[in-house]
Amino acid sequence: MRLCDVAEKLFAAHGPDGVTLREMAEPLGVSSMTPYRYFKDKDAILAAVRTRAFNRFAAAMESAGHGSKAQSGNAYIDFALANPAAYRMMFDVSQPTYADYPDLVKAMERARLTMGDGLRHLAADGRNKGDVELAAYVFWSAVHGAVMLELAGLLEGSKFDARKIAKPAVDALGKHFGLTA
């Protein structure tokens, strides 16, 4: 939906509170009242944008399959760097009303589950004996941190990027959690 494409970019650049419906409608050449035909209010547009972002992210992670930590990590980083506005909408935006939007809740859960899919498969094969959910959150936080450093421009001028930072972190975490290849 074109409105959601425009809203994603505007919300990511200015935050939800910094965007009006008029600013969303203008690039589409429609009146500021047109979004109300499709959405109850700006919060519903934000929920739709975030739902799409989480579902796109989950699809990217699912397409990586249940392979190695490297495949999952690369799929995560690839999505984040190729879709910085969507990534920011997923993780940089607080939406206290998210529970009012069942599709958003479902998309968030789908995305969260993709973060542990590989670990669950390792556990099923006997190659991970630890707490899978804890490990998934720890791996997620390590890769997320590396991505955010790159997206924020904090790695410019260094010899590092998100992948170079995430790889040793993921390798160390794999050893910590006793994962075997």
Q: What is the pLDDT of residue 179?
A: 79
**Is residue 10 in a domain?**
no
Q: What is the pLDDT of residue 44?
A: 95
Print the SS3 string covering 161-176.
CHHHHHHHHHHHHHHH
SS3 percent helix, strand, coil of the chain, rounded to 5, is 70, 0, 30
Q: What is the pLDDT of residue 181?
A: 59
**Is residue 120 in a domain?**
yes
pLDDT less than 70: residues of the chain? 1, 66-70, 180-181
- Torsion (CA) 82, 105, 130, 64 in degrees, nearest 10: -30
- Torsion (CA) 124, 126, 128, 133 in degrees, nearest 10: 20
Domain boundaries, position 69: 50-176
Q: What is the pLDDT of residue 128?
A: 76
**Is residue 79 in a domain?**
yes
Q: Which residue has the tokens 């670990």?
A: 119
Q: Give the pTM.
A: 0.88
Residue from 125, 110, 99 nearest 52 by CA: 110
Question: How many structural domains compose the chain?
Answer: 1
Q: What is the pLDDT of residue 20?
A: 93
